[in-house]
Amino acid sequence: MVKRLVLALALSLVCLPVGAETGHHLAFAKHGWLYVAQITPSGRLVRGDPVRVARLPRPGETPQLSWSPDGGSILVSGEREVWLVDARQGSLPRKVTDGSDAGFSPDGRRLVFADASGGVSVLDLATGRVTLLRAKAQQPVWAGDRVAVVDASSPTEFSASVLVLEADGGKVRFTAPAMVNPIRLVLSPDGRYLAFEPHLSRPLSGSVIFDARRQAA
């Protein structure tokens, strides 16, 4: 499968490979602008200047970037707002919702995001309808027919569980043991395997991995 890469440039680099229909491209934010550059399969930049695609709506922020599954759009997820940019033609960023930590559904028709009320919601891009998936949750990640979130309802200040929900309806299908400040959630493409880092629990301990299909919560 052909891949595109996404980089958000800040103090550190974030790289996300996703499916795309043609070529190898790199999207990155720099000095308040969104750029796209062509790269070789080995990851080297092709000669020529990156294409300046759009002026970012919040130049002072370092946004989270992700490609749509068909490679036609770039999702720009800021601290409080989520925007879409046409990656082929270039366009003014179009605000689609208030929130953060947004990501596409596998078919590209919906977004999951951390909403302004402290929960996780799903936005239908065609209709604009927003559906609450889980109250008091954060860090959503969508893969297959599942969405992983951090449960923010724990009474313990620094401990939280990671939940795997059905993307349609929000039913809990798996609950990982509570750990200290779980971060960097990842779901395998089929939604079966869940990985995340138990932040600050054991320094440099690495990620933990669960088979999220084996336990019904």
User: pLDDT digits over 67-101, tens only?
Assistant: 999 888 999 999 999 999 998 877 789 999 999 99
Burial, 3: exposed, middle or buried (Cβ in 10 Å; 0-12, 13-18, 19+)?
Answer: middle
- Which DSSP state fits 177? P
Query: Tokens in use for 210?
Result: 């669960």
- Out of 39-53, 107-121, 153-167, pick the least confident: 39-53
Q: Which of 181, 179, 117, 114 is nearest to 142 (CA)?
A: 114
Query: Tokens in use for 31?
Result: 């000095």
Output the 3-class SS for 114-135.
ECCCCCEEEEECCCCCEEEEEC
Bridge-based pairing of strands 94-98 and 120-124 is unpaired
Structural domains in the chain? 1-98 (no CATH), 101-217 (2.130.10.10)
